[in-house]
């Protein structure tokens, strides 16, 4: 019973981050097509605030209560000013809560952490939870393998929880995951059965306790889902606020894992293929991207933390011979095919491209997703081809996670395709 109470309180705590700081329901500029989608905008903004806060030289406990209290007060003010901000559709709200409760109980019962989580992510989270600041990470032996933000969120929401249990911080990963899936749904009340089926199918093909065992892939996966949906919204409604949120999502991805820079660049290149993307917007996008990368580089250099200590060296790349390249490429194809067959989303997307070949470059969203997919494949091949590690071991231990993370780019594309073709009504309903 105590676990259920604690998880319930965590849910409503996380919900505050959807309700403030912006009362976006009231503003036409920020209006999405559902209250939950409005909340996603606030969540993205809050997470970007937390990146900045995580870098300041203060103890977590010294500023966390003030930040959360401010969000609560702003939420109350928004409610009093425009009560609709808390008018979540009862059905989707209940659905959201029940799913969160079920998955959170699974996390609370199993508890075991993934290998990387034990040795990297959890230790970093302890730095923050024990009130050390970002600068102290330079003293951690493995600080350079990956950025800190996912671990910071782990500590932040653990400190914010009632029981302070380790898993309490990881429950935010569950919340972000479910928020990203529900963000895919439009007009929930009008297509109740169809939307329920969509969510359950997505849970069926994506949920595994392993992704919530402290590993960071679930954070990038969820943010990639949100990003691609925002790209679709921007293409259809041309609102600059969507583009602003896309840039903020790209920034979040940059601070979670080392390969975040790859997804950052993939999305950036994909966006530059938008038709009628004027010079002003293109320049703003490129300038913003440059500033975000420069800022992260500056911060890491200032605190004397290596940006990346992964086994990629120019000398090794230049010495690659044809035999090694062929051997590596053969194994990349074999393991890539194997893990793609285990990931339905990654498996189906190329089939959709084939079905849509007539409009692949006529429809903007199809074109951008196709370009993103090809760039993604190039990234996966390059990541293993140029890595100075035993190739078989590297593929066996990481390929499944890369495929899973990358599949976040195509979740909305898959759902949108099935909806347009009425597959749900014809074959499921």
Q: What is the pLDDT along the chain (429 residues), one digit of tens a residue?
A: 688 899 999 999 999 999 888 876 565 545 555 667 788 999 999 999 999 999 998 999 999 999 999 999 988 887 777 644 445 567 788 889 999 999 999 999 998 898 888 888 999 999 999 999 888 887 776 655 678 999 999 999 999 998 899 999 999 999 999 999 999 886 665 677 788 888 999 999 999 999 999 999 999 999 999 999 999 999 988 888 899 999 999 999 999 998 999 999 999 999 999 988 888 889 999 999 999 999 999 998 888 777 666 666 667 777 888 888 899 999 999 999 999 999 999 999 999 998 888 777 888 999 999 999 999 999 999 989 988 778 899 899 899 999 999 999 999 999 988 887 666 555 555
pTM, to two decimals: 0.94
The whole-angstrom distance between residue 354's C-alpha and the CA centroid of its chain comes to 27
Q: What are residue 42's phi and psi, to 5 degrees?
A: -65, -40
Report the number of distinct structural domains present in the chain. Answer: 2
pLDDT of residue 187: 61
Asked, for residue 299, whether it belongs to a domain, the answer is no
Say if residue 137 is in the same domain as residue 16. yes
Say if residue 117 is in the same domain as residue 38. yes
Say if residue 88 is in the same domain as residue 223. yes
pLDDT of residue 160: 94
Asked, for residue 207, whether it belongs to a domain, the answer is yes
Task: Find the domain containing 239 and state its range.
Answer: 2-248
- CB 373, CB 354: distance < 8 Å: no
pLDDT of residue 29: 47
d(CA 379, CA 374): 9
Say if residue 58 is in the same domain as residue 162. yes
Cα separations in angstroms, 341 against 205, 208, 329, 337, 357: 12, 16, 18, 6, 22
pLDDT of residue 426: 57
Burial state string for 342-381 with b = 16 or more CB within 10 A and e = fewer than 16: ebebbebbeebbeebeeeeeeebbbbbbbbbbebbeebbe
Q: What are residue 316's phi and psi, to 5 degrees?
A: -65, -45
Neighbours of 80 (CB within 10 A): 9
pLDDT of residue 85: 43
Asked, for residue 260, whether it belongs to a domain, the answer is no
| HEC-encoded secondary structure of the chain | CHHHHHHHHHHHHHHHHHHCCCCCCCCCCCCCCCHHHHHHHHHHHHHHHHHHHHCCCCCHHHHHHHHHHHHHHHHHHHHHHCHHHHCCCHHHHHHHHHHHHHHHHHHHHHCCCCHHHHHHHHHHHHHHHCCCCHHHHHHCCCCCCCCCHHHHHHHHHHHHCCCCCHHHHHHHHHHHHHHHHHHCCCCCCCCHHHHHHHHHHHHHHHCCHHHHCCCCHHHHHHHHHHHHHHHHHHHHHCCHHHHHHHHHHHHHHHCCCCCHHHHHHHHHHHHCCCCCCCHHHHHHHHHHHHHHHHHHHHHHHHCCCCCCCCCCCHHHHHCCCHHHHHHHHHHHHHHHHHHHHCCHHHHHHHHHHHHCCCCCCCCHHHHHHHHHHHHHHHHHHHHHHCCCCCHHHHHHHHHHHHHHHHHCCCHHHHHHHHHHCCHHHHHHC
Cα separations in angstroms, 266 against 30, 189, 377: 26, 35, 10
Say if residue 181 is in the same domain as residue 321. no
Say if residue 28 is in the same domain as residue 155. yes
Cα separations in angstroms, 128 against 47, 101, 124, 174: 16, 26, 7, 20
Asked, for residue 8, whether it belongs to a domain, the answer is yes
Say if residue 179 is in the same domain as residue 317. no
d(CA 1, CA 322): 62
Neighbours of 273 (CB within 10 A): 14
Say if residue 15 is in the same domain as residue 150. yes
Q: What are residue 214's phi and psi, to 5 degrees?
A: 95, -5
Asked, for residue 10, whether it belongs to a domain, the answer is yes
Asked, for residue 296, whether it belongs to a domain, the answer is no
d(CA 129, CA 158): 8
Q: Is the torsion defined by CA of 145, 146, 150, 156 positive or negative?
A: positive
- CB 360, CB 353: distance < 8 Å: yes
Boundary residue ending a domain (229, 248, 267): 248
Asked, for residue 267, whether it belongs to a domain, the answer is no
Say if residue 64 is in the same domain as residue 197. yes
Say if residue 35 is in the same domain as residue 143. yes
Residue 386's nearest CA partner among 262, 252, 290 is: 262
Asked, for residue 241, whether it belongs to a domain, the answer is yes
pLDDT of residue 25: 56
Boundary residue ending a domain (200, 233, 248): 248
Boundary residue ending a domain (217, 248, 279): 248
């Amino acid at each position: 019973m105590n676990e259920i109470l604690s998880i319930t309180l965590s849910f409503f705590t996380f919900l505050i981050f959807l309700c403030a700081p912006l009362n976006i329901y009231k503003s036409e500029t920020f209006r999405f097509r559902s209250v939950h989608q409005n909340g996603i905008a606030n969540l993205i903004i809050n997470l970007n605030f937390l990146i900045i806060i995580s870098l300041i030289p203060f103890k977590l406990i010294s500023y966390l209560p003030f930040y959360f209290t401010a969000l609560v007060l702003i939420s109350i003010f928004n409610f009093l000013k425009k009560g609709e901000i808390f008018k979540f559709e009862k059905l989707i709200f209940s659905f959201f809560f029940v799913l969160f409760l079920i998955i959170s109980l699974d996390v609370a019962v199993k508890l075991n952490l993934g290998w990387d989580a034990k040795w990297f992510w959890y230790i970093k989270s302890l730095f923050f939870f024990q009130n050390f600041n970002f600068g102290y990470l330079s003293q951690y032996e493995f600080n350079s393998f990956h950025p800190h933000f996912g671990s910071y969120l782990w500590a932040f929401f653990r400190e914010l929880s009632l029981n302070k249990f380790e898993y309490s911080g990881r429950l935010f990963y569950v919340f972000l995951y479910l928020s990203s899936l529900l963000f895919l749904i439009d007009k929930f009340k009008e297509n109740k059965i169809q939307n329920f089926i969509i969510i359950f199918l997505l849970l069926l093909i994506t949920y595994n306790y392993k992704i919530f065992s402290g590993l960071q892939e679930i954070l990038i996966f969820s943010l990639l889902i949100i990003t691609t949906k925002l790209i679709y919204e921007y293409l259809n409604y041309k609102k600059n606020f969507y583009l602003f949120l896309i840039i903020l999502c790209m920034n979040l991805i940059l601070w979670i894992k080392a390969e975040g820079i790859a997804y950052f660049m993939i999305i950036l290149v994909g966006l530059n293929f938008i038709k009628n993307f004027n010079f002003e917007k293109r320049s703003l996008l490129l300038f913003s991207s440059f500033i975000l990368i420069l800022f992260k580089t500056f911060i890491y250099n200032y605190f004397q933390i290596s940006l990346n200590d992964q086994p990629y060296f120019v000398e090794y790349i230049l010495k690659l011979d044809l035999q090694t390249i062929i051997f590596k490429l053969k194994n990349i194809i074999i393991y890539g095919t194997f893990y793609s067959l285990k990931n339905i989303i990654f498996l189906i997307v190329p089939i959709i491209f084939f079905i849509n070949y007539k409009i692949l470059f006529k429809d903007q969203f199809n074109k951008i997703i196709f370009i993103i997919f090809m760039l993604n494949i190039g990234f996966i091949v390059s990541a293993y081809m140029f890595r100075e590690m035993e190739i078989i071991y590297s593929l066996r231990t990481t390929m499944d996670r890369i495929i899973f993370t990358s599949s976040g780019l195509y979740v909305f594309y898959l759902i949108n395709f099935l909806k347009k073709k009425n597959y749900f009504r014809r074959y499921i309903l």
